[in-house]
A and B are shown apart, each in its own frame.
Chain A
Amino acid sequence: MVPTAGEPAAGDSWGMLACLCTVLWHLPAVPALNRTGDLGPGPSIQKTYDLTRYLEHQLRSLAGTYLNYLGPPFNEPDFNPPRLGAETLPRATVDLEVWRSLNDKLRLTQNYEAYSHLLCYLRGLNRQAATAELRRSLAHFCTSLQGLLGSIAGVMAALGYPLPQPLPGTEPTWTPGPAHSDFLQKMDDFWLLKELQTWLWRSAKDFNRLKKKMQPPAAAVTVHLGAHGF
């Protein structure tokens, strides 16, 4: 199902990327968990938290390898470029009070949307990567990231929140602009990895917060089951 907006031009990899991203958005929703007799969202929140830690660990080595492949100055520890371009990347940064006061649904939705976008862009990165080893690492990471998305979807389903559907015209497309030079492309890659890393740190905090909020209800569910003589 290819939308009319963002029709791929001949040989335009970004157009193909737009196509892929649209397909991703229209994947069938994760089937709702069987809510009778389950322990509530607690265990799946824990699992999602664990996944963010695993991914963060995996990203560290992947990013190191990829930045070395990009070469200097991208792999220098003090590299501190201004944030130009890459405007469509989902930003993890948020005002402290706003972050604290996010309701559960919004918190989960922001995470889900962010990783959907990021996964899409990462798949684009994979297509451009020069070495087979890099493509393998990226593909592996994409699979893990897909798992995280599924896990977040599971939590949302357990809590009865609908999965975010993209509005027409707001699909994540990355239009490079007139002459997207090699250097600017590398800058985009740099920011993608940076944003991914920051999102994983943020998600750990997000799921920590959710875990703490969910704990009392989960215990109540267990007691309830016990009373039924299971």
Chain B
Amino acid sequence: MAAPVPWACCAVLAAAAAVVYTQRHSPQEAPHVQYERLGSDVTLPCGTANWDAAVTWRVNGTDLAPDLLNGSELVLRGLELGHSGLYACFHRDSWHLRHQVLLHVGLPPREPVLSCRSNTYPKGFYCNWHLPTPTYIPNTFNVTVLHGSKIMVCEKDPALKNRCHIRYMHLFSTIKYKVSISVSNALGHNATAITFDEFTIVKPDPPENVVARPVPSNPRRLEVTWQTPSTWPDPESFPLKFFLRYRPLILDQWQHVELSDGTAHTITDAYAGKEYIIQVAAKDNEIGTWSDWSVAAHATPWTEEPRHLTTEAQAAETTTSTTSSLAPPPTTKICDPGELGSGGGPSAPFLVSVPVTLALAAAAATASNLLIW
């Protein structure tokens, strides 16, 4: 008989407990979001509490010193970024949560920096923007593009937040493009605009796949090849010209070559044996500006394999060849001292190899004198 009553009693008690629990631990309302300017002073009232109510303030769960209070209001002076956080005020005795403020400290936006560029001429161009100094709070940007009186659509870049793309509808236009951007956040607003002609913003991407190779048997040459940037849509109708620069790593001064077509060039005045750094840039033949420099290629010109010579080994070699045939020693004999005395033979301009040749010739002459005569 008494069974239903205890059940009902339990239910009521449970409900009451739940109400008390929610009252204590969950907010009366969602926290009030507030944005304040860096360096300013702010006074946070404790919701609708009287000025003389007894309250305690906490920030992110940590108690705040009572000397910051003016009655029930929290006073923060000289706001710093560290002041951002969740501020809560509680009734001092009951710990009843009265009010919550989510404070964000930041700055109004300064004038944005806007730039546009066409690396895909004649397909279209893109515009980039950024703020010169951070605001520390969320900003929204709005970009509008005008071509004369016609509004054009700027499609947001799928990957980059601060870029959008415009497609050219017409080429060779005499009317300028005007791109305007406005930026705003909770603390302020700013805007800027730029105006330009179709041709002035053309700047290709740098050439790709720059490769430099030594040329066999040529100690002063380097062969450089590259590709037109893959973003340039139509190199046939809109050909690019190229600018090559190179220097040995040990020097600061660059050599420059401008090439009106072709994607290869042979450097013919490299210093033998020195490692070179080479870069290439591209530009539309008639309009716009030069691209940035490509990724650098490194190469060292071909050098001859060093040969280790000793006179004994060489003499032995020459002796064997002389005994095998009565013919004169091989053509390395350019200048025979014996022949020179008798009126000389042909002189050949082998400047570098003369010392080696003379030694060989001397050895050959000695050998032939010993064996033939």
Contact = CB atoms under 8 A, between A and B. Distances in A.
A208 B235 CA distance: 11
A34 B122 CA distance: 38
Interface stretch (A11-19, A77-85, A176-184): A77-85
A201 B174 contact: no
A82 B172 CA distance: 16
Q: Is the interface of B mostly helix, strand, loop or mixed?
A: loop
- Classify the secondary structure of A's interface with B: helix
A92 B148 contact: no
B196 to A, nearest CB: 9
Interface stretch (B80-88, B163-171, B216-224): B163-171
A94 B170 contact: yes
B110 interface: no
Contacts of B238: 205, 208
A220 B239 CA distance: 23
B70 interface: no
B170 A95 contact: yes
B166 to A, nearest CB: 13
Contact of A204 (B168, B176, B286): B286
Interface stretch (A20-28, A61-69, A139-147, A190-198): A190-198
A161 to B, nearest CB: 21
Contact of B173 (A56, A80, A93): A93
Given A208-B237, A209-B237, A92 B174 contact: yes
Nearest to A91: B174
Interface in B227-279: 236-239
Contacts of A91: 174
A60 interface: no
Given A83-B148, A96-B168, A212-B236, A191 B286 contact: no
Interface in B269-297: 285-287
Question: What band does the interface of chain A fall in when counting residues whose beta carbon is under 8 Å from B?
Answer: 20 to 34
A205 B170 CA distance: 15
A201 B149 CA distance: 24
A99 interface: yes
A53 interface: yes
A122 to B, nearest CB: 16
A135 interface: no
B178 A93 contact: no
B174 A195 contact: yes
A93 B170 contact: yes
A80 B174 contact: no
A123 interface: no
Contact of A53 (B122, B149, B286): B286
A136 interface: no
A99 B171 contact: yes
Interface string A200-218: 0110110011001000000
A100 interface: yes
Contacts of A99: 171-172
A49 B229 CA distance: 25
7 contacts: A82-B148, A93-B172, A94-B170, A94-B171, A195-B174, A198-B173, A205-B237
Interface of B: 122, 148-149, 168-176, 178, 195, 199, 236-239, 285-287
Q: Which 4 A-B pairs have the closest CB atoms?
A: A92-B172, A202-B172, A204-B286, A93-B173
Interface of A: 53, 56, 78, 80, 82-83, 91-96, 99-100, 191, 194-195, 198-199, 201-202, 204-205, 208-209, 212
